[in-house]
Structure 1
Amino acid sequence: MKATSERTRWRAVCAYDGTNFAGWQSQAGGNAIQDVIEKALGKVLKTPVRIHGSGRTDAGVHALAQVFHFDAAWSHGAEKLRAALRVELPAAIQIAALRRAKPTFHARFDAKGKIYEYHVCLGEADPFTRLFVWPVFRALDLAAMQTAARRLTGRHDFRAFTALNGPEREDTVRDLRRLEVARRGRRIKITAEADGFLYKMVRSLAGTLVAVGEGKLTPAQVTGLLAGGVRTAAVPTAPGKGLFLRRVLYR
């Protein structure tokens, strides 16, 4: 398959099982989702291609609809390009949608928000879901978790709920538009929507809500942690395997 000389901006949506990958962002060892997709594009287009994602996901974290863009010359249409990538990509990564975009589109800077889901299993998970949930072996107080979630919702400084470190003072104010806790059978789903998320913020929120459910923290203590603005050992980080990037929001 040959590429044309005219370069086009492409917008893609991909889904991936992050279990065996080093996260989204390119790594020296080449085992990140970005590295694998760029390698596949390079084979199809016969030239190196750099892709730009809507944001990063950590090692072991999954995505249902990660968005990225790239510039490339290709004259055979979006579906043929997607079909060619299907051959080159491992089964754990799927290009769910692909189309031409405006030359000014940027997957990261045009995003207006993201929706994440975190999945908890009460007790041992079955072999088919164990890689995609956090098994918790204590009873959880759902009402307390929901109360704490309401106290975290809104525009706040979430420095206490991020793993950011270093001397620089990054803006840690985010608008957490939605933080919901719902149970169905032995499964608890935590849904978080915001204008943006800090490093490990969703996993920190999920870990904190589970701690509330276990009785290790009260909703009032969570309010105090938020107001304190300092990350402490009281804020646990949930395992990456239960987290999914559900959707990236654009205008």
Structure 2
Amino acid sequence: MRACDFVPRRRKCVCAYDGTGFAGWQSQAAGRGLAIQDVIEARLAAIFGQPVRIAGSGRTDAGVHALGQVFHFDAAWSHGEEKLLLALRTGLPSTIQIKSTRPVRADFHARFDARGKRYEYRIHLGDADPFARPYCWTVFRPLDVDAIRAAAARLIGRHDFRAFTALNGPAREDTVRMLHRLDVLQRGRRLRIVCEGDGFLYKMVRSLVGALVSVGEGKLSAADLAAILASRHRTATVQTAPAKGLFLAKVFY
């Protein structure tokens, strides 16, 4: 075997997971529950016979799902990418899937090289069936979808989104983000809110969705949302949508 086969290489992986029952993506302090990262690192340790740390594109909260989370790791592997992908998939639970793996440059970083992300939030108008219910916010009250779309349009652009985050840090912390897209798509009783931007704050997407649902219920107006945004102050007026309806759809590089 060639000496270069034993030289660690960096690999970029894309994975999907059902976040139900997990303590989020990132490893937690002892006693705070099992994270997606813990499960993947345990599988990598079994494959390579030693601890392997992974770095993700960012955190997802407990109960949040992913269709395209990205992470990287460094390890020496000499059996081809298809066999590595098979080895990863074979030993993971059915709630976690590695979709792809490929070598990348040594200085690639899943988090710091990311240019943006796309999240999707799923809402069901009325009672969802048992197969959809764990992965959406079931809203029984009628929603004015046109009003939601009008309010969403007021939020697109570069703004200070402090009023739509659960951050508890100092006010000087940078909370300005560029929101490229906030689409409200409807198909029958299913609503899908697509949120795309250069980065997102802690619980920002769920806060935006919660506020938009309040608009649809008539509790807030588009002007109210604009005023909340301008205030840079989080209040109980902004509800946080349930974690189970949120999906990290894609990371852009």
What band does the TM-score fall into relative to the shorter chain? over 0.9
RMSD: 1.2
Q: Which moved more, 1:160-169 or 1:96-105?
A: 160-169
Q: TM-score under structure 2 normalisation?
A: 0.96
Q: CA deviation at 1:20?
A: 1.3
Partner of 1:211: 214
Summarize deviations over 1:73-129 as a string: whole Å, max 9, x none: 111111111111112110000000011111111100110000000000001110111
Are residues 1:118 and 2:121 paired?
yes
Partner of 2:84: 81
Give the one of 26, 44, 59 matched to 2:62: 59
| Partner Cα separation in structure 2 for residue 167 and residue 201 of structure 1 | 17
Partner of 1:97: 100
2:9 alignment partner, SS class: strand
| Partner Cα separation in structure 1 for residue 194 and residue 130 of structure 2 | 24
Summarize deviations over 1:1-39 as a string: whole Å, max 9, x none: xxx531000100000000111100111346100111001
Partner of 2:170: 167
| Partner Cα separation in structure 2 for residue 42 and residue 168 of structure 1 | 41
| Partner Cα separation in structure 2 for residue 44 and residue 113 of structure 1 | 31
2:154 alignment partner, SS class: helix
Instruction: Give 5+ residue unaligned stretches, structure 2.
Output: none
Partner of 2:19: 18
| Partner Cα separation in structure 2 for residue 17 and residue 117 of structure 1 | 14
| Partner Cα separation in structure 1 for residue 55 and residue 132 of structure 2 | 30
| Partner Cα separation in structure 2 for residue 188 and residue 107 of structure 1 | 30
Amino acid paired to 2:78: S
1:115 alignment partner, SS class: strand
Amino acid paired to 1:62: H
CA contact (8 A) 2:85 2:98 kept: yes
**In percent, how many aligned pairs have the same letter?**
66
Instruction: Give 5+ residue unaligned stretches, structure 1.
Output: none
| Partner Cα separation in structure 2 for residue 15 and residue 80 of structure 1 | 19
Q: Which moved more, 1:221-230 or 1:165-174?
A: 165-174
Summarize deviations over 1:15-67 as a string: whole Å, max 9, x none: 00001111001113461001110011000110100000001100000000000
Q: TM-score under structure 1 normalisation?
A: 0.97
| Partner Cα separation in structure 1 for residue 161 and residue 171 of structure 2 | 16
CA contact (8 A) 2:6 2:78 kept: no
1:152 alignment partner, SS class: coil
Q: CA deviation at 1:168?
A: 6.1
Give the one of 43, 46, 52 matched to 1:43: 46
